[in-house]
Amino acid sequence: MFELFKSVFLSCVDVSRCRLFLPLSVVLFGFAVAATASTTERRVALVIVNGEYSHVPRLQNPTNDALDLAQTLRRIGFEVTEAIDLDYRDMRLAVRDFSEQAENADIALLYYAGHGIEIENTNYLIPINAELKRASDVEFEALRLDALLSALAAPKGLKIVLIDACRDNPFRVSMRQSGATRSIGRGLARIEPTGVVVGYAAKGGTYALDGHQRNSPYAMALMEHLETPGLELGKLFRKVRDSVFEVTEQQQEPFVYGSLPGHDIYLVDPLPVAMPIPVPVAEAPPPAPILDDQELSRDFAVTSERQSPTAWRSFLQKHQVHEGHPLLELAEERMAALLLDRDIDRGYSIGEPWLATAVRSGEQISLTRQDRQLIQQSLNMMGFDTGGVDGQFGPKSRRAIGKARTRAGLAPGTNVDVALLRILPNALILRQLQSDKARSYLPEDLPSGLEPRLRKALLALKGRKLLFDYFQGHLYIVVSTPWTGSSWKFTSELAQKAGGHLVAIGSRVENDFLVDLFSQDETFIHKDWQGHQMGPNIGLHQVDFSNEPAGGWEWANGDRVTYNGWSPGNPDNHRNQQHIARFWLKAKMNRAGAKVRYWDDGTGGYGTGFIIEIE
């Protein structure tokens, strides 16, 4: 190799031709050495892929994943056996034969893509001929993951098992329709393997995505990072996790079970440092051109049409040399807004478990009564009625937990685990942000982990003084205005920008909740010279003026008026100008302890504020 290197070097006799010689030669030399790294190790791999199922729809990606991943493994020194579309018998034989092959290997890697299912915390890999009409059939028609791991117990080297089998499984439907009495989980259950490192395409209790490309997101991420020189195995798994998490827009998170040895493990050794070789002195190469503003503007326009967080991430990465450019700052804002709207649509955002005191060890949860109260508050914020915040998980609270798990796509049940804590709104943050006096919130005041509807609203209302709280799953915000008020059009548009509408009141209980909310701050109640007390405007307005003063009233969101909170004698359409409703208390009703709980019609141009409701 050195002689070849030397001959190439000596062939460069023209100084102008040698300008780029050194960096290119160093790169070629490094990769040549890397390609021969770890030749003393014996590495074996078995790639099992099941896609052509007989009794459920075929899977699109597994065959591509098998062929492409096998080639990747061969390039880094593995002896690879490919096993495609196996029935029950062939799967067992393939694993048995691989166990024998791996006995003297330094590294044994097994990759499985296809269907998998969890029943009563036991994981099964499903052959292509399985019918699984009942949950009890699984013992006779599918291969236990535990059995596969046990087959690899004998080999002494490093053992890696990669499972891309956490898809939404069609066998679950037929099992449940047959009246299954056994617990059928979502995805695969978490495991505690011994002597084997097991990587899941999606962590226990969640689903993996097939994606819309040639390969699944997990297989694509593996192939992206497996050949990286000098990437330690533990970091490789973290890189795969980050890539999948990003490309699926945080919907899929791979997870690794088991522990790695204390020493560093490289599937591709680090590139060696090449010895410097004297070269003719040549002028420095010109600096790489920086993208101009025209290309930046074109890319911004194209990305704006796609309306995708992933597209914005790619745009920001491509144009990072323009750090500080106004278009990059705008791109970051638009990407954040799209991610926020996605969280609002699905009803939750994913983050680290905020109730850290409840996580004792690993994923074991221990709840105090105060913890349970915080969880009940969080469930109420999501719109799931717990029947009160008493720290007791009665029937209503358990139903609320089950509904929250279903919405988030977690394993069915009424248990509180780390996965549930990841999607519950942070009740502790809510308590810290709330105030009994109207205050303003700036973007830098908003912590991470904030309930997505509230984050969007506070960003839209930045700098305005307000109070907020939740009731029966809806978010209510009382926004302060100068006593001269704001127009109906302006407040309606601002409410829509915040993600909601001017409040529509449907019951006495809801009305009393709002009165208690804005009454905390006396600035939301104005007393006029006659002794009448005026409160914030609400979403009740007169669409047409027929049958004045009572005709044509409806709520801003289009709801019919089913609850009547008018003050006696109202609406009266004073001076033929009053077509907007507000909270009100007549002077003659202003006794000790009386609250501004009734309604009056007004012009909409006067008021202490307005109330937004976000469903």
Same domain, yes or no: 146 and 253 = yes
**Structure-block tokens of residue 87:** 């029935």
514, part of any domain: yes
pTM of the predicted protein model? 0.52
Is residue 159 within 8 A of residue 152, CB to CB? The reply is yes
Domain boundary (210, 233, 257) is at 257
Preceding omega of 254 cis (within 30 degrees of 0) = no
The Cβ of residue 143 has, within 10 Å, a number of other Cβ atoms equal to: 24
Dist. CA 589–CA 569, nearest whole Å: 12
- 79 phi, psi to nearest 5 deg: -85, 115
Domain boundary (397, 429, 461) is at 429
Same domain, yes or no: 117 and 242 = yes
Same domain, yes or no: 556 and 576 = yes
pLDDT in the model for residue 6: 40
Residues in contact with 82: Cβ distance below 8 Å, sequence separation at least 6, in sequence order: 47, 49, 66, 67, 70
Instruction: Transcribe 261-306 into DSSP letters.
Output: -SS--BSSPPPPPPPP------PPPPPPPPPPHHHHHHHHHHHHHH
pLDDT in the model for residue 438: 94
pLDDT in the model for residue 4: 41
Q: Which amino acid is located at 241 in the chain?
A: R
Dist. CA 306–CA 489, nearest whole Å: 31
Instruction: Transcribe 389-413 into DSSP letters.
Output: SSS---HHHHHHHHHHHHHHTPPSS
Residues in contact with 284: Cβ distance below 8 Å, sequence separation at least 6, in sequence order: none
1, part of any domain: no
pLDDT in tens, 207-263: 767 666 778 889 989 999 999 988 999 899 999 999 888 888 777 888 888 877 778
272, part of any domain: no
pLDDT in the model for residue 536: 93
Q: Dihedral of CA 301/302/307/311: which sign?
A: negative
- Residue spans of alpha helices (H) in 54-198: 62-75, 88-101, 138-141, 145-151, 171-177
Same domain, yes or no: 466 and 421 = no
Reported residue count of the chain is 615
Q: Output the domain CATH number for residue 468.
A: 3.10.100.10
For the chain, the domain total comes to 4
Residue with the two structure tokens 């780390």? 418
Same domain, yes or no: 182 and 140 = yes
The Cβ of residue 303 has, within 10 Å, a number of other Cβ atoms equal to: 21
Range of the domain at 374: 356-429
pLDDT in the model for residue 606: 67
524 by Cβ neighbours in 10 Å (0-12 / 13-18 / 19+) ranks as buried
Q: What is the mean pLDDT of each run of 10 residues along the chain (615 residues)?
A: 39 35 36 43 91 81 85 92 91 92 90 88 89 83 90 83 75 53 58 83 74 80 90 91 84 83 83 61 58 77 81 82 83 82 76 74 76 90 86 92 86 86 85 89 82 91 93 92 73 93 95 96 89 92 79 88 90 82 89 89 80 94
Residue with the two structure tokens 């209510």? 476
Is residue 407 within 8 A of residue 348, CB to CB? The reply is yes
Dist. CA 186–CA 203, nearest whole Å: 11
24, part of any domain: no
pLDDT in the model for residue 514: 96
523, part of any domain: yes
Same domain, yes or no: 98 and 231 = yes
286, part of any domain: no
pLDDT in the model for residue 275: 56
Is residue 67 within 8 A of residue 214, CB to CB? The reply is no
Same domain, yes or no: 387 and 458 = no
Q: Output the domain CATH number for residue 237.
A: 3.40.50.1460
Same domain, yes or no: 156 and 95 = yes
Dist. CA 491–CA 131, nearest whole Å: 59
pLDDT in the model for residue 508: 95
**Structure-block tokens of residue 130:** 């399985």
Same domain, yes or no: 198 and 124 = yes
Same domain, yes or no: 545 and 597 = yes
pLDDT in the model for residue 38: 45
167, part of any domain: yes
pLDDT in the model for residue 172: 60
The Cβ of residue 387 has, within 10 Å, a number of other Cβ atoms equal to: 14
Give Cα separations from 509 to 386, 505, 515, 538, 615 (angstroms): 17, 9, 10, 16, 17
pLDDT in tens, 512-528: 999 999 999 999 999 88
Same domain, yes or no: 513 and 541 = yes
Instruction: Transcribe 502-557 into DSSP letters.
Output: E----SHHHHHHHHHHHTTSGGG-EE-TTS-EEEEEEEEEESS-TTTTTTTEEETT
Residues in contact with 393: Cβ distance below 8 Å, sequence separation at least 6, in sequence order: 372, 401, 414
312 by Cβ neighbours in 10 Å (0-12 / 13-18 / 19+) ranks as buried
Same domain, yes or no: 408 and 502 = no
288, part of any domain: no
